[in-house]
């Protein structure tokens, strides 16, 4: 006759059901991809917007530099005329934020190893040549970021200057 007490061999596990539930949940990977996707999409979206924002800022800087160069080329080809040069700067780009500021300046100068030094017209330069007539054309624009990043500025001002000898 078997007189064993059945309750002696079974252990009481108050957390056994909870343990089984967690073990089964860790094995189930059916929704893991959806959760990973939900976590990563905001990060990827922020990266895409940030890279686009940087690209637009660099493009605005290039527009400002090209506009100043276009104004100097206009002065070389057609002579110095403040209004016409300013219009050439503005029309060199499709951006309405690019302006010819400060306005173009005509001056006499002598070339040096570091640029052009301003002198009186008719002055003889160190190389023996008479001072030339130059035009200085400037362009500027402001870029506003697409979103507020909290740790960088919201606006950036870009300025470019181009100097060209007219005669």
pLDDT tens, N- to C-terminus, the chain (167 residues): 555 555 555 565 666 777 777 777 677 677 777 788 888 999 999 999 999 999 999 999 999 999 999 999 999 999 999 999 999 999 999 888 999 999 999 999 999 888 899 999 989 998 888 999 999 999 999 999 999 988 889 999 999 999 999 97
Whether 24 is in a domain gets the answer no
Query: Residue 74 sits in which domain range?
Result: 35-165
Give me the helix-helix angle, 32-78 and 82-91, nearest 10°: 160
Q: How many CB atoms lie within 10 A of CB 80?
A: 19
Structural domain contains residue 9:
no
The answer to whether residue 133 sits within a structural domain is yes
- In a domain? residue 54: yes
How far apart are the C-alpha atoms of 103 and 95, rounded to whole Å? 18
Report how many domains make up the chain: 1
Whole-prediction pTM value? 0.74
Look-up: residue for tokens 């606006």? 155
Residue 12 lies in a domain: no
- Can you give the chain as a three-state secondary structure string? CCCCCHHHHCCCCCCHHHHHHHHHHHHCCCCHHHHHHHHHHHHHHHHHHHHHHHHHHHHHHHHHHHHHHHHHHHHHHHCCCHHHHHHHHHHCCCCCCCECCCCCEEEEEEEECCEEEECCCCCECCCCCECEEEEEEEEEEEEECCCCCCCCCCEEEEEEEEEEECC
| Residue 70 forms part of a structural domain | yes
Tell whether 3 is covered by a domain: no
Q: Number of C-alpha atoms within 13 angstroms, CB side, residue 88? A: 24
Residue 38: half-sphere exposure toward Cβ, Cα within 13 Å: 5
Q: Is residue 19 part of a domain?
A: no
């Amino acid at each position: 006759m078997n007189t064993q007490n059945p309750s002696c061999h079974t252990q009481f596990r108050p957390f056994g059901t909870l343990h089984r539930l967690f073990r089964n949940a860790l094995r189930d990977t059916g929704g893991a991809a959806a959760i990973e996707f939900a976590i990563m999409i905001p990060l990827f979206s922020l990266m895409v917007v940030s890279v686009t924002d940087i690209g637009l800022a660099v493009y605005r800087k290039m527009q400002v530099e090209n506009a100043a160069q276009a104004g100097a080329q206009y002065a070389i080809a057609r002579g110095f005329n403040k209004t016409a040069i300013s219009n050439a700067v503005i029309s060199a780009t499709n951006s309405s934020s690019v302006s010819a500021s400060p306005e173009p300046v005509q001056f006499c100068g002598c070339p040096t190893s570091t640029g052009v030094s301003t002198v009186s017209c008719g002055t003889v330069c160190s190389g023996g040549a008479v001072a030339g007539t130059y035009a200085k054309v400037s362009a500027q624009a402001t870029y506003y970021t697409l979103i507020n990043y909290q740790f960088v500025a919201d606006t950036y001002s870009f300025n470019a200057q181009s100097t060209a000898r007219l005669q």
